[in-house]
């Protein structure tokens, strides 16, 4: 064999590898680290391409582990639920103080407050269910990128705050109307 034949064979071998790997996405073959290639060749032959991608992305800086994402979202949702409950308590306290200043009977104030508390509890539960459904749909993705997760959390925060603002505005209007016109109810 001539030296030119070996040279052409050496040049052809890497291109053969690239053609072989073209349909697969294997990071170790791209880096050229022979030790890593030999160790992971056995593993990569057993795993599908999707499993390799999933393993690499969940451990990377760009991916989010699903278990951690679920835990973080549930904690964040609980925090927003408590914020909503605090808003509802504040509305109830303001209503009772204003009712006392107008010298309305405690019986009527408690009746209206009870109605409000039931409606507020139902609205909080519906809001929680809405966000849990929304999160479960989001989590169906195989790979969850950090930027997508952060965007989802920001959207969740904006929607929670919007719901709380509308709730407070609507119920303050209703309760203040009841204070101004107690004979209508």
What pTM does this model have?
0.61
- For 131, the 3-state DSSP assignment is helix
Residue 185 is predicted with a pLDDT of: 56
First vs last Cα of the chain: how many Å apart?
A: 105
The pLDDT value recorded for residue 50 is 52
Structure confidence at residue 53 (pLDDT): 47
Position 66 scores a pLDDT of: 87
For the chain, which ranges sit under pLDDT 70?
Answer: 1-61, 184-185
CB atoms within 10 A of CB 64: 20
- What is the reported pLDDT for 146? 87
pLDDT of residue 81: 94
Question: What pLDDT shows up at residue 51?
Answer: 58
Q: What is the signed CA dihedral for 8, 10, 14, 15, rounded to 10 degrees? A: 10
């Amino acid at each position: 064999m001539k030296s030119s034949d070996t040279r052409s064979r050496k040049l052809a071998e890497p291109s053969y590898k690239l053609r072989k790997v073209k349909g697969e996405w294997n990071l170790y073959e791209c880096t050229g680290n022979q030790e890593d290639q030999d160790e992971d060749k056995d593993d990569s032959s057993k795993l599908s391409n999707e499993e390799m991608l999933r393993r690499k992305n969940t451990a990377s800086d760009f991916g989010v582990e699903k278990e951690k994402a679920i835990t973080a979202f549930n904690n964040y949702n609980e925090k927003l639920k408590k914020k909503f409950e605090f808003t509802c308590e504040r509305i109830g306290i303001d209503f009772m103080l204003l009712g006392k200043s107008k010298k309305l009977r405690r019986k009527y104030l408690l009746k209206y407050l009870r109605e409000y508390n039931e409606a507020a509890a139902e609205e909080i539960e519906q809001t929680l269910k809405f966000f849990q459904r929304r999160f479960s749909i989001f989590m169906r993705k195989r790979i969850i990128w950090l930027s997508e997760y952060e965007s989802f959390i920001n959207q969740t925060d904006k929607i929670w705050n919007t719901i709380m603002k509308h709730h407070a505005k609507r119920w303050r209007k209703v309760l203040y109307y009841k204070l101004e016109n107690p004979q209508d109810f």
